Structure 1
Amino acid sequence: MIVLHHCPQTRSMRSLWLLHELGVKFGVSIHPFDKTLRDPQYLSLSPAGRVPALEIEGERMFETAAITEYLCEIFPERGLGRPAGDMDRMAWLVWVHFAETVSQHTAALTQQHVMIYPPEARSPIVTRLEARRLEKCYAAIEARLNTPVERRDYLLTSGFSAADISVGQAIYMARHFVKIESFPKLHAWYDRITDRPSFVASLPQKGSEVLYKQDFYPPLED
Protein backbone atom coordinates (compact mmCIF):
# COMPACT_ATOMS: atom_id res chain seq x y z
CA MET A 1 0.00 0.00 0.00
CA ILE A 2 1.23 3.48 -0.91
CA VAL A 3 0.13 6.57 1.03
CA LEU A 4 1.32 10.06 0.10
CA HIS A 5 1.26 12.80 2.74
CA HIS A 6 0.47 15.97 0.84
CA CYS A 7 -0.21 19.70 1.18
CA PRO A 8 -1.77 21.37 -1.88
CA GLN A 9 0.53 23.71 -3.84
CA THR A 10 3.72 22.42 -2.24
CA ARG A 11 6.53 20.15 -3.42
CA SER A 12 4.40 17.12 -2.55
CA MET A 13 2.32 17.92 -5.63
CA ARG A 14 5.34 16.65 -7.57
CA SER A 15 4.97 13.21 -6.02
CA LEU A 16 1.19 13.29 -6.46
CA TRP A 17 1.53 14.06 -10.18
CA LEU A 18 4.06 11.23 -10.55
CA LEU A 19 1.81 8.72 -8.78
CA HIS A 20 -1.10 9.63 -11.04
CA GLU A 21 1.17 9.29 -14.08
CA LEU A 22 2.40 5.88 -12.90
CA GLY A 23 -1.18 4.69 -12.71
CA VAL A 24 -0.65 2.74 -9.49
CA LYS A 25 -3.03 2.37 -6.57
CA PHE A 26 -2.33 4.84 -3.76
CA GLY A 27 -3.98 6.87 -1.05
CA VAL A 28 -3.50 10.53 -0.12
CA SER A 29 -3.43 12.03 3.35
CA ILE A 30 -3.91 15.80 3.04
CA HIS A 31 -2.40 18.04 5.71
CA PRO A 32 -2.74 21.78 6.30
CA PHE A 33 0.46 23.70 5.69
CA ASP A 34 0.88 24.75 9.30
CA LYS A 35 2.41 23.76 12.63
CA THR A 36 0.65 20.39 12.61
CA LEU A 37 3.53 19.22 10.42
CA ARG A 38 5.64 19.53 13.59
CA ASP A 39 3.50 17.09 15.55
CA PRO A 40 5.49 14.06 16.79
CA GLN A 41 3.28 11.69 14.81
CA TYR A 42 4.06 13.45 11.55
CA LEU A 43 7.73 13.90 12.44
CA SER A 44 7.97 10.12 12.62
CA LEU A 45 7.27 10.18 8.87
CA SER A 46 9.30 13.24 7.91
CA PRO A 47 11.84 14.31 10.58
CA ALA A 48 12.10 17.87 9.27
CA GLY A 49 8.34 18.34 9.31
CA ARG A 50 8.01 18.78 5.56
CA VAL A 51 5.95 17.30 2.77
CA PRO A 52 5.97 15.02 0.97
CA ALA A 53 6.27 11.92 3.06
CA LEU A 54 5.56 8.55 1.49
CA GLU A 55 4.54 5.36 3.22
CA ILE A 56 5.19 2.34 1.02
CA GLU A 57 5.03 -1.33 1.96
CA GLY A 58 5.67 -0.54 5.63
CA GLU A 59 8.61 1.78 4.92
CA ARG A 60 8.73 5.57 5.02
CA MET A 61 10.38 8.05 2.68
CA PHE A 62 10.75 11.81 2.43
CA GLU A 63 12.47 14.21 -0.03
CA THR A 64 10.84 14.58 -3.43
CA ALA A 65 13.81 13.62 -5.61
CA ALA A 66 14.43 10.46 -3.57
CA ILE A 67 10.75 9.54 -3.86
CA THR A 68 10.86 10.17 -7.61
CA GLU A 69 13.91 7.99 -8.11
CA TYR A 70 12.51 5.16 -5.98
CA LEU A 71 9.06 5.10 -7.56
CA CYS A 72 10.55 5.07 -11.05
CA GLU A 73 12.82 2.19 -10.04
CA ILE A 74 10.05 -0.01 -8.63
CA PHE A 75 7.69 0.70 -11.53
CA PRO A 76 10.15 0.62 -14.46
CA GLU A 77 7.50 -0.61 -16.89
CA ARG A 78 5.88 2.84 -16.80
CA GLY A 79 8.90 4.32 -18.59
CA LEU A 80 9.18 7.46 -16.46
CA GLY A 81 12.70 6.76 -15.19
CA ARG A 82 15.92 6.17 -17.07
CA PRO A 83 17.97 3.22 -15.74
CA ALA A 84 21.75 3.02 -15.44
CA GLY A 85 23.22 2.60 -18.91
CA ASP A 86 20.40 4.44 -20.66
CA MET A 87 21.60 7.21 -22.96
CA ASP A 88 19.47 9.73 -21.06
CA ARG A 89 20.31 8.57 -17.53
CA MET A 90 22.68 11.45 -16.82
CA ALA A 91 20.28 14.09 -18.13
CA TRP A 92 17.37 12.49 -16.26
CA LEU A 93 19.21 12.79 -12.94
CA VAL A 94 20.27 16.36 -13.66
CA TRP A 95 16.76 17.58 -14.41
CA VAL A 96 15.01 15.64 -11.64
CA HIS A 97 17.32 17.39 -9.18
CA PHE A 98 17.25 20.75 -10.99
CA ALA A 99 13.63 20.99 -9.87
CA GLU A 100 14.93 21.71 -6.37
CA THR A 101 17.05 24.59 -7.68
CA VAL A 102 13.88 26.17 -9.03
CA SER A 103 11.94 25.38 -5.87
CA GLN A 104 14.45 26.93 -3.48
CA HIS A 105 14.04 30.32 -5.17
CA THR A 106 10.27 29.93 -5.20
CA ALA A 107 10.36 29.06 -1.48
CA ALA A 108 12.26 32.27 -0.74
CA LEU A 109 9.66 34.28 -2.65
CA THR A 110 6.81 32.45 -0.95
CA GLN A 111 8.25 33.38 2.43
CA GLN A 112 8.50 37.03 1.43
CA HIS A 113 5.10 37.36 -0.22
CA VAL A 114 2.86 34.83 1.45
CA MET A 115 4.00 33.62 4.85
CA ILE A 116 6.45 33.76 7.75
CA TYR A 117 7.51 37.39 7.40
CA PRO A 118 5.14 40.18 8.54
CA PRO A 119 4.65 42.92 5.91
CA GLU A 120 7.09 45.33 7.58
CA ALA A 121 9.87 42.70 7.51
CA ARG A 122 9.52 41.80 3.84
CA SER A 123 12.33 42.83 1.52
CA PRO A 124 11.74 44.30 -1.94
CA ILE A 125 15.44 43.65 -2.69
CA VAL A 126 15.10 39.94 -1.90
CA THR A 127 11.97 39.61 -4.04
CA ARG A 128 13.76 41.20 -7.01
CA LEU A 129 16.90 39.11 -6.55
CA GLU A 130 15.00 35.83 -6.25
CA ALA A 131 12.81 36.70 -9.23
CA ARG A 132 15.96 37.26 -11.29
CA ARG A 133 17.30 33.90 -10.12
CA LEU A 134 14.11 32.23 -11.26
CA GLU A 135 14.49 33.90 -14.64
CA LYS A 136 17.95 32.34 -14.92
CA CYS A 137 16.40 28.95 -14.19
CA TYR A 138 13.84 29.59 -16.90
CA ALA A 139 16.64 30.49 -19.31
CA ALA A 140 18.40 27.20 -18.54
CA ILE A 141 15.25 25.23 -19.38
CA GLU A 142 14.69 27.34 -22.51
CA ALA A 143 18.21 26.55 -23.67
CA ARG A 144 17.72 22.84 -23.03
CA LEU A 145 14.51 22.77 -25.07
CA ASN A 146 16.08 24.84 -27.85
CA THR A 147 19.09 22.61 -28.59
CA PRO A 148 19.67 21.47 -32.18
CA VAL A 149 18.67 17.90 -31.25
CA GLU A 150 15.24 17.92 -32.89
CA ARG A 151 14.17 20.99 -30.87
CA ARG A 152 13.10 18.79 -27.95
CA ASP A 153 9.43 18.55 -26.98
CA TYR A 154 10.54 17.31 -23.55
CA LEU A 155 13.62 17.69 -21.37
CA LEU A 156 15.04 14.36 -22.55
CA THR A 157 15.78 13.34 -26.11
CA SER A 158 13.99 10.04 -25.46
CA GLY A 159 10.70 11.71 -24.54
CA PHE A 160 8.47 12.46 -21.57
CA SER A 161 9.73 11.33 -18.16
CA ALA A 162 9.63 12.05 -14.45
CA ALA A 163 12.15 14.82 -15.16
CA ASP A 164 9.39 16.77 -16.91
CA ILE A 165 7.08 16.13 -13.95
CA SER A 166 9.67 17.32 -11.42
CA VAL A 167 10.63 20.49 -13.26
CA GLY A 168 7.09 21.10 -14.48
CA GLN A 169 5.70 21.12 -10.96
CA ALA A 170 8.48 23.48 -9.86
CA ILE A 171 7.49 25.84 -12.68
CA TYR A 172 3.82 25.57 -11.66
CA MET A 173 4.79 27.12 -8.33
CA ALA A 174 7.37 29.55 -9.72
CA ARG A 175 4.83 31.06 -12.12
CA HIS A 176 3.19 32.71 -9.13
CA PHE A 177 6.21 35.05 -9.03
CA VAL A 178 7.82 35.13 -12.49
CA LYS A 179 5.83 34.73 -15.70
CA ILE A 180 7.05 32.36 -18.41
CA GLU A 181 5.56 34.02 -21.49
CA SER A 182 8.87 35.59 -22.56
CA PHE A 183 10.42 32.11 -22.80
CA PRO A 184 8.61 30.58 -25.80
CA LYS A 185 10.08 27.06 -25.69
CA LEU A 186 9.52 26.82 -21.95
CA HIS A 187 6.00 28.15 -22.33
CA ALA A 188 5.10 25.64 -25.06
CA TRP A 189 6.66 22.77 -23.06
CA TYR A 190 4.77 23.78 -19.93
CA ASP A 191 1.48 23.92 -21.80
CA ARG A 192 2.23 20.51 -23.30
CA ILE A 193 2.95 18.71 -20.04
CA THR A 194 0.22 20.39 -18.00
CA ASP A 195 -2.35 19.28 -20.55
CA ARG A 196 -1.84 15.73 -19.28
CA PRO A 197 -4.69 14.27 -17.18
CA SER A 198 -2.20 13.32 -14.47
CA PHE A 199 -1.26 16.97 -13.95
CA VAL A 200 -4.89 18.05 -13.79
CA ALA A 201 -5.54 15.31 -11.20
CA SER A 202 -2.73 16.68 -9.03
CA LEU A 203 -4.16 20.21 -8.81
CA PRO A 204 -5.85 21.35 -5.59
CA GLN A 205 -9.40 20.10 -5.36
CA LYS A 206 -12.21 22.63 -5.29
CA GLY A 207 -12.57 24.01 -1.79
CA SER A 208 -9.05 22.96 -0.73
CA GLU A 209 -6.98 25.27 1.43
CA VAL A 210 -4.29 26.61 -0.91
CA LEU A 211 -0.98 28.31 -0.30
CA TYR A 212 -1.33 31.00 -2.97
CA LYS A 213 -4.35 33.27 -2.74
CA GLN A 214 -3.31 35.17 -5.88
CA ASP A 215 -2.35 33.91 -9.33
CA PHE A 216 0.64 36.27 -9.44
CA TYR A 217 2.75 38.20 -6.92
CA PRO A 218 4.89 40.95 -8.48
CA PRO A 219 8.14 42.02 -6.79
CA LEU A 220 7.55 44.25 -3.79
CA GLU A 221 7.98 47.99 -4.15
CA ASP A 222 10.53 49.93 -2.07
Structure 2
Amino acid sequence: MIRLHHAPQTRSMRSLWLLHEIKAEFELVLRPFDRSLRAPEYLNLNPAGRVPALEIEGERMFETGAITEYLCERFPEYGLGRPPGDPDRMAWLVWVHFAETISQHTAALTQQHIALYEDAMRSPIVMKLEAARLGKCYAALEDRLSTPMENRDYLLGSGFSAADISCGQAIYMARHFAPIEPFEALSKWYALITERPAFQASLPSDGARLYDKPFYPAWEV
Protein backbone atom coordinates (compact mmCIF):
# COMPACT_ATOMS: atom_id res chain seq x y z
CA MET A 1 0.00 0.00 0.00
CA ILE A 2 1.26 3.46 -0.94
CA ARG A 3 -0.25 6.60 0.55
CA LEU A 4 0.98 10.09 -0.32
CA HIS A 5 0.23 13.08 1.89
CA HIS A 6 0.21 16.06 -0.45
CA ALA A 7 -0.56 19.78 -0.39
CA PRO A 8 -1.21 21.32 -3.82
CA GLN A 9 1.51 23.51 -5.32
CA THR A 10 4.19 22.37 -2.89
CA ARG A 11 7.26 20.13 -3.14
CA SER A 12 5.05 17.05 -2.68
CA MET A 13 3.90 17.54 -6.27
CA ARG A 14 7.25 15.99 -7.29
CA SER A 15 6.32 12.76 -5.60
CA LEU A 16 2.78 12.89 -6.99
CA TRP A 17 4.05 13.38 -10.55
CA LEU A 18 6.51 10.50 -10.12
CA LEU A 19 3.81 8.17 -8.79
CA HIS A 20 1.71 8.94 -11.85
CA GLU A 21 4.68 8.29 -14.15
CA ILE A 22 5.29 4.84 -12.65
CA LYS A 23 1.56 4.09 -12.78
CA ALA A 24 1.55 3.12 -9.11
CA GLU A 25 -1.64 2.34 -7.26
CA PHE A 26 -1.73 4.80 -4.39
CA GLU A 27 -4.01 6.70 -2.07
CA LEU A 28 -3.76 10.48 -2.16
CA VAL A 29 -4.36 12.37 1.10
CA LEU A 30 -4.81 16.07 0.41
CA ARG A 31 -3.47 18.28 3.18
CA PRO A 32 -4.10 21.99 3.62
CA PHE A 33 -0.96 24.10 3.75
CA ASP A 34 -1.57 25.32 7.28
CA ARG A 35 -0.92 24.61 10.96
CA SER A 36 -2.59 21.21 10.70
CA LEU A 37 0.76 19.94 9.41
CA ARG A 38 2.06 20.56 12.95
CA ALA A 39 -0.53 18.23 14.52
CA PRO A 40 1.07 15.39 16.53
CA GLU A 41 -0.44 12.66 14.36
CA TYR A 42 1.02 14.21 11.21
CA LEU A 43 4.39 14.86 12.84
CA ASN A 44 4.62 11.10 13.27
CA LEU A 45 4.75 10.94 9.47
CA ASN A 46 6.94 13.95 8.80
CA PRO A 47 8.67 15.36 11.89
CA ALA A 48 9.36 18.66 10.12
CA GLY A 49 5.63 19.29 9.71
CA ARG A 50 5.90 19.55 5.94
CA VAL A 51 4.78 17.66 2.87
CA PRO A 52 5.31 15.18 1.42
CA ALA A 53 4.95 12.20 3.68
CA LEU A 54 4.89 8.85 1.96
CA GLU A 55 3.59 5.71 3.64
CA ILE A 56 4.71 2.54 1.91
CA GLU A 57 4.50 -1.06 3.11
CA GLY A 58 4.07 0.03 6.72
CA GLU A 59 7.05 2.38 6.62
CA ARG A 60 7.14 6.15 6.20
CA MET A 61 9.33 8.44 4.14
CA PHE A 62 9.79 12.18 3.86
CA GLU A 63 12.14 14.40 1.82
CA THR A 64 11.39 14.44 -1.89
CA GLY A 65 14.89 13.54 -3.02
CA ALA A 66 14.89 10.39 -0.90
CA ILE A 67 11.40 9.48 -2.09
CA THR A 68 12.47 9.94 -5.70
CA GLU A 69 15.52 7.72 -5.32
CA TYR A 70 13.54 5.03 -3.50
CA LEU A 71 10.64 4.90 -5.95
CA CYS A 72 12.98 4.76 -8.94
CA GLU A 73 14.80 1.84 -7.33
CA ARG A 74 11.54 0.16 -6.34
CA PHE A 75 10.07 0.48 -9.85
CA PRO A 76 13.09 0.24 -12.18
CA GLU A 77 11.00 -1.00 -15.11
CA TYR A 78 9.88 2.58 -15.85
CA GLY A 79 13.44 3.73 -16.50
CA LEU A 80 13.19 6.95 -14.49
CA GLY A 81 16.26 6.30 -12.35
CA ARG A 82 19.87 5.73 -13.28
CA PRO A 83 21.44 2.90 -11.24
CA PRO A 84 25.03 2.76 -9.98
CA GLY A 85 27.33 2.09 -12.90
CA ASP A 86 25.11 3.86 -15.42
CA PRO A 87 27.04 6.57 -17.32
CA ASP A 88 24.35 9.12 -16.39
CA ARG A 89 24.20 8.17 -12.69
CA MET A 90 26.27 11.14 -11.51
CA ALA A 91 24.33 13.69 -13.54
CA TRP A 92 21.03 12.10 -12.51
CA LEU A 93 21.86 12.54 -8.82
CA VAL A 94 22.98 16.12 -9.33
CA TRP A 95 19.82 17.23 -11.14
CA VAL A 96 17.41 15.28 -8.94
CA HIS A 97 18.78 17.16 -5.96
CA PHE A 98 19.27 20.49 -7.73
CA ALA A 99 15.49 20.76 -7.55
CA GLU A 100 15.84 21.52 -3.86
CA THR A 101 18.26 24.36 -4.59
CA ILE A 102 15.60 25.92 -6.81
CA SER A 103 12.86 25.28 -4.28
CA GLN A 104 14.64 26.89 -1.34
CA HIS A 105 14.52 30.23 -3.18
CA THR A 106 10.89 29.67 -4.17
CA ALA A 107 10.05 28.88 -0.54
CA ALA A 108 11.61 32.15 0.60
CA LEU A 109 9.55 34.05 -1.96
CA THR A 110 6.40 32.17 -1.01
CA GLN A 111 6.97 33.24 2.58
CA GLN A 112 7.49 36.87 1.56
CA HIS A 113 4.51 37.13 -0.78
CA ILE A 114 1.99 34.79 0.83
CA ALA A 115 2.83 33.64 4.36
CA LEU A 116 3.70 37.12 5.63
CA TYR A 117 0.31 38.72 5.53
CA GLU A 118 1.23 42.29 6.51
CA ASP A 119 3.26 44.55 4.23
CA ALA A 120 5.47 45.67 7.12
CA MET A 121 6.68 42.08 7.53
CA ARG A 122 7.88 41.84 3.93
CA SER A 123 11.23 42.83 2.50
CA PRO A 124 11.53 44.08 -1.09
CA ILE A 125 15.28 43.45 -0.83
CA VAL A 126 14.77 39.78 0.06
CA MET A 127 12.23 39.43 -2.76
CA LYS A 128 14.64 40.87 -5.33
CA LEU A 129 17.58 38.82 -4.09
CA GLU A 130 15.67 35.55 -4.10
CA ALA A 131 14.18 36.22 -7.54
CA ALA A 132 17.70 36.94 -8.84
CA ARG A 133 18.90 33.66 -7.31
CA LEU A 134 16.16 31.84 -9.19
CA GLY A 135 17.57 33.45 -12.32
CA LYS A 136 20.95 31.89 -11.52
CA CYS A 137 19.26 28.49 -11.21
CA TYR A 138 17.55 29.02 -14.54
CA ALA A 139 20.91 29.87 -16.10
CA ALA A 140 22.39 26.60 -14.81
CA LEU A 141 19.55 24.63 -16.41
CA GLU A 142 19.83 26.67 -19.62
CA ASP A 143 23.51 25.84 -19.84
CA ARG A 144 22.83 22.15 -19.32
CA LEU A 145 20.02 22.02 -21.85
CA SER A 146 21.99 24.04 -24.43
CA THR A 147 24.99 21.70 -24.40
CA PRO A 148 25.20 19.89 -27.75
CA MET A 149 24.47 16.23 -27.14
CA GLU A 150 22.29 13.55 -28.60
CA ASN A 151 18.75 13.66 -27.14
CA ARG A 152 19.33 16.97 -25.36
CA ASP A 153 15.57 17.39 -25.13
CA TYR A 154 16.03 16.33 -21.50
CA LEU A 155 18.54 16.87 -18.72
CA LEU A 156 20.23 13.54 -19.44
CA GLY A 157 21.49 12.39 -22.79
CA SER A 158 19.87 9.02 -22.14
CA GLY A 159 16.37 10.53 -22.12
CA PHE A 160 13.56 11.52 -19.80
CA SER A 161 14.09 10.67 -16.13
CA ALA A 162 13.13 11.60 -12.59
CA ALA A 163 15.70 14.41 -12.87
CA ASP A 164 13.34 16.12 -15.31
CA ILE A 165 10.42 15.51 -12.95
CA SER A 166 12.26 16.96 -9.95
CA CYS A 167 13.58 20.06 -11.68
CA GLY A 168 10.45 20.47 -13.77
CA GLN A 169 8.22 20.60 -10.71
CA ALA A 170 10.61 23.07 -9.06
CA ILE A 171 10.37 25.31 -12.13
CA TYR A 172 6.57 25.00 -12.11
CA MET A 173 6.59 26.69 -8.70
CA ALA A 174 9.47 29.09 -9.36
CA ARG A 175 7.70 30.55 -12.40
CA HIS A 176 5.35 32.32 -9.99
CA PHE A 177 8.25 34.59 -9.04
CA ALA A 178 10.77 34.68 -11.91
CA PRO A 179 9.88 34.27 -15.60
CA ILE A 180 11.59 31.58 -17.65
CA GLU A 181 10.82 33.11 -21.05
CA PRO A 182 14.27 34.76 -21.43
CA PHE A 183 15.81 31.26 -21.30
CA GLU A 184 15.11 29.62 -24.66
CA ALA A 185 16.31 26.07 -24.01
CA LEU A 186 14.77 26.00 -20.54
CA SER A 187 11.42 27.19 -21.88
CA LYS A 188 11.43 24.59 -24.66
CA TRP A 189 12.27 21.79 -22.18
CA TYR A 190 9.62 22.95 -19.70
CA ALA A 191 6.94 23.03 -22.41
CA LEU A 192 7.89 19.52 -23.48
CA ILE A 193 7.85 17.84 -20.08
CA THR A 194 4.68 19.57 -18.89
CA GLU A 195 2.76 18.08 -21.81
CA ARG A 196 3.15 14.66 -20.21
CA PRO A 197 -0.12 13.17 -18.92
CA ALA A 198 1.47 12.42 -15.53
CA PHE A 199 2.30 16.10 -15.04
CA GLN A 200 -1.19 17.15 -16.05
CA ALA A 201 -2.66 14.64 -13.58
CA SER A 202 -0.60 16.24 -10.80
CA LEU A 203 -1.92 19.77 -11.27
CA PRO A 204 -4.19 21.19 -8.57
CA SER A 205 -7.87 21.81 -9.02
CA ASP A 206 -8.98 25.42 -9.28
CA GLY A 207 -10.19 25.43 -5.70
CA ALA A 208 -7.04 23.97 -4.17
CA ARG A 209 -4.18 26.33 -4.93
CA LEU A 210 -1.47 27.84 -2.78
CA TYR A 211 -0.88 30.68 -5.23
CA ASP A 212 -3.86 32.83 -6.16
CA LYS A 213 -1.90 34.77 -8.80
CA PRO A 214 -0.02 33.44 -11.81
CA PHE A 215 2.91 35.78 -11.09
CA TYR A 216 4.19 37.81 -8.12
CA PRO A 217 6.61 40.62 -9.12
CA ALA A 218 9.70 40.79 -6.94
CA TRP A 219 9.06 44.41 -6.04
CA GLU A 220 5.40 43.98 -5.10
CA VAL A 221 4.61 44.61 -1.42
Matched, 1:198 2:201: no
* 2:140 is aligned with 1:152: no
Q: Would you say the 8 A contact 1:22–1:78 is kept in 2?
A: yes
2:167 is the alignment partner of 1:167: yes
Instruction: Please give the secondary structure, in 2, of the residue aligned with 1:149.
Output: coil
Report the Cα offset of residue 151 of structure 1. Answer: 6.6
Q: CA deviation at 1:170?
A: 0.1
Q: Aligned residue for 1:81?
A: 81
2:151/2:158 contact within 8 Å kept: no
Q: What residue identity is the alignment partner of 2:153?
A: D
Unmatched tracts of structure 2, length 5 or more = none
In the TM superposition, what whole-angstrom CA distance separates every residue of 1:60-79 from its partner, at most 9, and x where no partner exists? 00000000000000100110
Aligned length: 221
In 2, are the aligned partners of 1:111 and 1:117 still within 8 Å (CA)?
A: no
Q: Give runs of aligned pairs for residues 61-210 of structure 1, distance below 5 A.
A: 61-116=61-116, 118-150=118-150, 152-208=152-208, 210=209
Provide the rounded CA distance (Å) in 1 between the counterparts of 2:202 and 2:151. 28
Report the alpha carbon displacement of residue 205 of structure 1 after superposing the two structures with TM: 2.1
Q: Deviations over 1:124-171 (max 9, x none)?
A: 111110011000000000000011213710000100000000000000
Residues 26-71 of structure 1 show CA distances to partners (whole Å, capped at 9, x for unaligned) of: 1100010000000000000000100000000000000000000000
Indicate conservation of the 8 Å contact 2:116/2:122, yes or no. Answer: no
Secondary structure of the residue that 1:163 maps to in structure 2? helix
Q: Is 1:214 aligned to residue 213 of structure 2?
A: yes
Aligned residues of 2:151 and 2:157 also touching (Cα < 8 A): no
Seq. identity, %: 71
RMSD value, Cα: 1.1
Counterpart CA distance in 2 for 1:151 and 1:161 is 12
How far off its partner does 1:121 sit? 1.4
TM-score (norm 1): 0.97
What's the counterpart of residue 43 of structure 1? 43
Deviations 1:165-186 (A, max 9, x none): 0000000000000010000000
Determine the C-alpha separation between the residues in 2 that align with 1:11 and 1:207: 18
User: 2:55 maps to what in 1?
Assistant: 55
CA displacement 1:88-138 (0-9 Å, x = unmatched): 000000000000000000000000111135211101111110011000000
- Check conservation: 1:180, 1:187, Cα contact below 8 A: yes
Secondary structure of the residue aligned to 1:114 is helix
- Give the 3-state SS of the residue equivalent to 2:17 in structure 1: helix
Letter in 2 for 1:173: M
Partner SS state of residue 191, structure 2: helix
- Give the aligned partner of residue 11 of structure 2: 11
Q: In structure 1, what is the Cα distance between the partners aligned to 2:119 and 2:23?
A: 43
**Which runs of 5 or more residues in structure 1 are unaligned?**
none
